[in-house]
Amino acid sequence: MKNKLDTIKETFKNDFANADNLNKVKKLEIQYLGKKSELYLFSRSIGSIKDIEEKKIIGKEINILKTEIKNLLKEKSIQYDKQDIKNSIKHDFDITYPVFPKNNGSIHPVKMIQQQLETIFTGMGFSIVNGPEMETDYYNFQALNIPEHHPARDTQDTFWLDNDMLLRTQTSNCQVRAMEKFGAPLKIIAPGKCFRYESMDASHETSFYQMEGLLIDRNISIRHLIGTMKVLLKEIFERDVDIRLRPGYFPFVEPGFELDIKCLICGGKGCKTCKNSGYLELLPCGMVHPNVFKMSKIDPDLYNGFAFGLGLTRLAMMKFNIHDIRYFNSGDLRFLKQFR
Ligand code: FA5
């Protein structure tokens, strides 16, 4: 009996010395302590020993050997465990590696267009400015040559606030603020959110994006304006698009134009997006009115310039073939996920 234990001890010693990784240590655990191990079977067999004293001694020696094996294996497995972690840090774990969460978001389509336009315009030397969404009557209307009770106010139904301020109806407020702050000459764009108290349909939202543009210098003409608009549309659509220029009335420009784009949803045939007209109103623009310059302390005899107010959300509709403006603010992930 004693010999048996010595043999087990001896083979374990050899096997243990050869167990040079965690896997091998785990296998030894089963081999030497498991239900089918020699030691276990041996411990079950000592029941047949008649001599009680002898049985006690052998039983004790079995337990001592079991504990010894258990402790040695435990110690070694901890050691390899630590080693494995260290190795994985060394080989697989890079602290500088970017973490991409499983459900990472995507850039909103309007923002995509905005960023594209910012690249185009900064490339032409324009600076990007912004202004408040909660605005005073002065910056949203009066400084743009739209005094109180002027009929032009009716074209921009306004959300008035309790504090006598309003939610800006147009990004043109940024023109005025930029002129006051920087004077002339000036080349700016101002993308941002606008709000109008309108009933919603396929091409009208109560909250939508515009991008204002303003260029002031000496000897600026309508040709500069049209040239800039053409570059902008060509860059965005990556091809020539059909446009139409009509006279447009905005008190802050003279002359004023409506630059419409042939509807890219229906190809000009007429649909609910373009209200069956074949064209979509996209880019009102014009030469800055002398009164606007005067109010912002710029001399209209020295300087002139052009301004435009691009409908950014509508441009995104044309670019991505989206037939209804209401998708943009719907928060519908099925819609947003298409722009990854
Ligand atoms: C203006 O807001 C002028 N500030 C634009 C301007 C700037 C003219 C500088 C001249 C010089 P208008 O109200 O037309 O103009 O709006 C400009 C564009 O915003 C429209 O062509 C359209 O594309 C977009 N837009 C207007 N209302 C809505 C709406 N409810 N939903 C979505 N887009 C709209």
Listed residues 54, 88, 122: the one ending a domain:
88
Whole-number pLDDT of residue 93: 64
pLDDT at 1 over 70: no
Q: 216: which strand partners?
A: 186, 305
Task: Tell whether 40 and 74 lie within a shared domain.
Answer: yes
29 and 71: one domain?
yes
* Same-domain pairing of 226 and 333: yes
The 10s digit of each residue's pLDDT in 37-73 is 999 998 888 888 888 888 888 889 999 999 999 999 9
Q: What is the pLDDT of residue 92?
A: 63
Decide which of 24, 58, 88 is a domain's last residue: 88
Give nearest CA residue, ligand 1 atom 29: 204
Q: How far is the CA of 284 from the centre of ligand 1 (A)?
A: 7
Q: Are residues 83 and 231 in the same domain?
A: no
54 and 142 co-located in one domain: no
Across residues 187-211, what is the average pLDDT?
97
- Residues 6 or more apart from 59 whose CB is under 8 A from it? 43, 46
Instruction: Tell me which of 53, 88, 123 is where a domain ends.
Output: 88
Report if residue 141 sits inside a domain: yes
* Closest listed residue to residue 322, CA positions, set 306, 336, 304: 336
Q: Are residues 84 and 126 in the same domain?
A: no
Query: Is residue 265 within 8 Å of residue 273, measured between CB atoms?
Result: yes
Taking CB atoms and a 6 Å cutoff, what residues make up the pocket around ligand 1? 156, 170, 172, 196, 198, 204-205, 208, 210, 212, 250, 253, 256, 281-282, 284-286, 307-309, 311, 313-314, 325
Q: Could you identify the atom of ligand 1 that is nearest to the CA of residue 325?
A: 32
Q: Which domain holds residue 182?
A: 109-339
Output the average pLDDT for the chain: 92
* Residue 120 maps to a domain: yes
Cα four-point dihedral sign 139, 145, 146, 152? negative
**What number is the average pLDDT over the span 200-227?**
96
How many domains is the chain partitioned into structurally?
2
CATH number of the structural domain spanning residue 190: 3.30.930.10
Q: Position of tokens 């909660």?
A: 134
Q: Which of 56-65, 81-90, 95-104, 180-189 has the lowest mean pLDDT?
A: 95-104
CB 308 within 8 A of CB 229: yes
Q: Are residues 74 and 38 in the same domain?
A: yes
pLDDT exceeding 70 applies to what percent of the chain?
96
The string of pLDDT tens digits covering residues 123-171 is 999 999 999 999 999 999 999 999 998 988 988 999 999 999 999 999 9
Residue 141 and residue 195 share a domain: yes
pLDDT band at 238 (very low <50, low <70, confident <90, very high): confident
List the structure tokens of 22.
Answer: 């965690």
What pLDDT, on the 0 to 100 scale, is given for residue 49?
A: 85
Q: What is the rounded distance in angstroms from the CA atom of residue 162 to the CA atom of residue 315? A: 33
Domain membership flag for residue 97: no
- Residue with the smallest CA separation from ligand 1 atom 24 is 311
Establish if 185 belongs to a structural domain.
yes
- Put simply, whether the predicted model's pTM sits higher than 0.85 gets the answer no
- Is residue 241 located within the same domain as residue 117? yes
Same domain, 152 and 64: no
Residues 128 and 73 in one domain: no
Torsion of CA 224, 229, 231, 237, to 10 degrees: -170
Q: Is residue 321 part of a domain?
A: yes
Residue 173 lies in a domain: yes
| Closest C-alpha to ligand 1, atom 2 | 170
Alpha-carbon separation of residue 168 from 14, 136, 141, 145 (angstroms) = 84, 8, 9, 16
Instruction: Tell me the three-class secondary structure of 72-108, residue by residue.
Output: HHHHHHHHHHHHHHHHHHHHCCCCCCCCCCCCCCCCC
305: burial class by Cβ within 10 Å (0-12, 13-18, 19+)?
A: buried
Convert the pLDDT of each residue in 15-45 to its tens digit: 999 999 989 999 999 999 998 999 999 888 8
Judge whether 94 lies within some domain: no
Both 73 and 127 in one domain: the answer is no
Top pLDDT among 100 and 236 is at 236
> Does residue 100 sit within a domain?
no
